[in-house]
Structure 1
Amino acid sequence: MFKKRILLVIAISLVGCSTSQPVVRTVRTTNKTIARTKQTLHKKPNTTIVKSVKKPINSKPDIISKPIAQSPVNNSKTETNSKTDINSETQILEATTRVKVTTAMVLEYISKYKDIAKNNMAKYGIPSSIILGQGILESGAGTGPLSVQANNHFGIKCHKDWSGPSVKYDDDSAQECFRKYNLPNESYTDHAIFLTGRAWYQPLFKLKKDDYKEWAKGLKAAGYASDPKYPDKLIGIIERYQLNQYDSEVLGTEYVPVNSKEQVSANSNLYQVSQGDTLYSISKKFNISIEDLKRKNDISENAISIGQNLIIK
């Protein structure tokens, strides 16, 4: 019996020793887990760095867009330097506004509105050449402030009978009232109605429809413009761009081109400005100083207009 008890105690001791081993194993496992956790913590900063590198990618389109916006400017400079044709030449147009335009701009304007001018000639009896010439002169070939802001291509003021929209603009007096239109076509129609509906313009309609010179003088005489050189400017534009060809098309007559090259008036004391003329070139041609030329013609600036008659003696 005693022996059995001893054997039981020994067996219990052995069992106790065997159950203590997992404790050691558990400690080892914990150490590995800690080590792995440390490794994981060390890896997290790397993940954050990768994300921060990707952020600048979103800003690349803005950087690329800048040279794209500049490239047309560089191209235009190259094209401008290479142009030698007549379309790039500039001239001054001065009536209601004073603007500088190129020949190409004027030709584009003519192409855009010539059909309207021809239709108005057929309907109202105003020469196409006069309509287009006035449109070019008064609107600066569609680039002047009144034509851009108010679609007013003929410098027509409000007057008492106008109840439509208007704009204020400095002309003969400060902040004068000018008519405003929704479309340029409305300005062309109103121009025809304006001339046909006023008694003081009626003498114009007794003139021949292909006599643009008398029409230009008649407009000034009737008070359309205050500029004493208005007829010369208008005639110069008509002849420079051969606008009277559209009169012939409407009338069904043969068109005879006008010689618009540099001209000396029948009055040898006058010279009509033509394409390419400057005060300097005219002064050299007629052996007169620029200052004398400006003084004789009451010119304060160096700009002159095609068709303008200058006193040279």
Structure 2
Amino acid sequence: MSLLTWPVRTQTRAFSSSALRRNDPLSSIQGSDAPPTNTLPPLNRPLGVRERPTTLAKSTTARIKELMHTDALMEQRRHLFVTVVSLLACTLTVVVVRVKEASVGYFHDVNMTRKHGGKTWIAPQVLIREDKALYLPNIAGKVLSDGSTKHTTEMCFGKTTILAMLNTKVSEINVKGFIDPTHARYASHPLYQCVQVNLQENLLKSFLVNLFLRSLRRVTPKELHSTYLVSSQNMEYVRDALGMTNARVGYVYLIDENLKIRWGGCADATKEETLALESCTGVLLKRLERKKEMEPHPSTQ
């Protein structure tokens, strides 16, 4: 069956409203139709954040209102609990606990990479419905071409974008498996672009990447320099929302002109996932072309 003629009811079931209420990007599957434990489940919820991204810094009033919100406050407490304890106690025990916690996170990612190559879910075969899709959070970084700072919110608005998140050699290989066929097909399309974000949240790794930008420019195709971002932005609060549960593998997102994530893939791409990304990109481009044609020309207004 063609991807373009996939039944609407199948899409609606895959991204039902009940899945939106789950925090885990891979909600547990129960019942007689549950897949075997040795297989990976499909992505069954939209990826992204509910709040439309912006490049503007939040005002003090906005920050206070955000902190007064119960859910936001509990989320802040969950992430900052260890830091608060260390400031109050100032003991060696707390420091050891924090080091142990960091080590567990690292080895967890390594062990997860050994299983299924770090893949935790299978990409959908069709686009996530626009009314169910969520937003890509704003990511700032330095452009590989000239070192200036750019934001994904400004770069992706008004275009169909394949956005790749990478930070290791393994993730680079993962990303290439997803995007190479699609990029080769649509690279010349005026409404298409490929954005790569080299995310290095570790300060030492970020320093080393910036130190070797010249060699990074040599291995990156010149036509992609203007859309290649090197970022050290902290993604802790949006990692789960984006399904980025393993920092060792690559993640690929298909973004529409309104900054919504309409498709996502992770780790090693299967043949079906690669074909799905190419097909879904083509669908978004055709829709955007029709939308542009329907817009009134400035001279006729």
Smaller-chain TM-score bracket? under 0.3
Larger radius of gyration: 1
Query: Structure 2-normalised TM-score?
Result: 0.20
The normalised TM-score by structure 1 is 0.20
